[in-house]
Amino acid sequence: MEKLMELARTKSDKVEIYSLEGKIDSIWFENLKLKDVDTKLQSGVSLRLIKDGKLGFAYTKNLINREELLQNAIDSMKGGVEASFDIPLTLDLPPLNTYDPSIESLSNDKLVDECKRVNGILTSKAKGQINLHTERIINNIKIVNSHGMNLSTKFSAYILNPEILYPASYSSIERSLVSKRFERASDEYLGFLAEVYNQSEKEVKAKKGKMKVLFLPEVIYVLMWRLLAATNGMSIYQKESPISGKIGEKIFSEKLTIYDDPLNDKMPGARAFDDEGTTCHKFPIIKEGVLLNFYYDLFYADKMNTKSTGHGFKTSRWGGETISIKPNPSLEHLFIKCGNKSLSRLVSSMDKGIIIAGALGAHSGNIPNGDYSIGLSPGLYVENGEIVGRVKDAMISGNIYNTMKDVVDIEDTLHSTWRGMFPAILFDNVSVATKD
């Protein structure tokens, strides 16, 4: 990277080099049988240049030909993307506990043995088909720039994702176990999966209309996706956000507090700096229903004449290889403040309603505007405070700026899910459609 920096500084005004090295060991079981064992090594270098106010970008998976990588970045400037932002010089970061050395000794054999143990326990408790996926992840990230910044971080993760499928269906009950080191799945954790599955195994009919709907943590992303789009600095710049200009206004229920906390290292992936080297910090989005902030990377902060909030990450809505993605505004460590009721108490408070345990079509609708329309996969039907079965061919629809104003209660526990740490949330007056 030092030689690449020397070359790049002779050809541009500002230089940023991002390096990633990682390893992912994955195990898949399908219907109690070992289906696949896979080890994926990922490495690469991406290069961003700014010269005469124009932005260049290129990447490679193997830094063999530095001159070619540099020339590709220079050639990309012909696209004429304007960039007047400055690159940071970040120093004195808070120490974070992001890596557990014990992850190094976690072998594929041990992962397989744990999967077999979990399969055995779930098989004894539930009749549905059981699929399992588990991963061990180690990532090393390094960022240097022409201001003299030199940052690095290393993190570890262990993930277990069991699911129990309903008969003749791809619909399932699932919940991930996530930590920085290997942890045996607890009886309580596995018991929850089996209990919810058993309560909802029977198919039942449900009437359509507006009713209480309980979003389990695994599907809260349906709502958060819309909020992330609306508070993204890119949406503000492009004038696509319906809440632009509403900082300081109450837009949700006072029961909702939503924030980003990259410094919380209790779970994997904590970061003291983003993928541009900007310092990360705890960042409020919604406090007691009031909109407090939008979030920015360097590029869109410059466009809006403000400062980066430390949210420039190499991610995209539809995935992709990290090294190939340019930094863009992204909330990677989202939290929703807990309530004070257990999940069982939330369910028991429902006279009639639906529990959403999985979603189909989460990407549909006008996401920046807050609209959603999703199939329930599965949707669990509740009567008189008890789960009585699951409904087929049902969907819910609405707009988050209506739905999230009508919060009944919030679970007292956070769960690690895709896009953040969320509790279950019970809403009222949500439109449910069912097949006649």
Q: What is the pLDDT of residue 436?
A: 66
pTM of the model: 0.95
What's the CA angle centered on 220, arms 27 and 98, to 5 degrees? Answer: 55
| Cβ proximity of 129 and 122 under 8 Å | no
CA end-to-end span of the chain? 63
Q: What is the pLDDT of residue 363?
A: 82
Residue for token pair 């993605």: 325
> How many CB atoms neighbour CB 393 within 10 A?
12
Helix 187-200 and helix 108-125, axial crossing angle in degrees, nearest 10: 40
Distance between CA atoms of residues 128 and 174, nearest Å:
12
| Cβ proximity of 280 and 272 under 8 Å | yes
pLDDT digits (tens, 9 = 90+) for 46-100: 999 999 999 999 999 988 899 999 999 999 999 999 999 999 999 889 999 999 9
Type of residue found at 74: I
Q: Which two tokens stand for residue 249?
A: 């206004």
| Cβ proximity of 160 and 134 under 8 Å | yes
Q: Identify the DSSP state of 142.
A: E
> How many CB atoms neighbour CB 434 within 10 A?
18
β-bridge pairing 420-422 and 334-336: parallel
CA 234 to chain centre: 18
What's the CA angle centered on 413, arms 392 and 344, to 5 degrees? Answer: 50
Q: Which two tokens stand for residue 208?
A: 């359509």
| Cβ proximity of 191 and 125 under 8 Å | yes
Q: Which residues in the chain land under pLDDT 50?
A: none
The H or E element spanning position 109 is: helix 108-125
Region of 370 on the Ramachandran plot (φ > 0 left; ψ -120 to 50 alpha; else beta)? left
| Cβ proximity of 166 and 172 under 8 Å | yes
Taken in order of first residue, the domains within the chain and their CATH numbers are 2-195 (3.30.2290.10), 202-436 (no CATH)
Per-residue CA distances from 314 to 174, 311, 332 (Å): 28, 10, 10
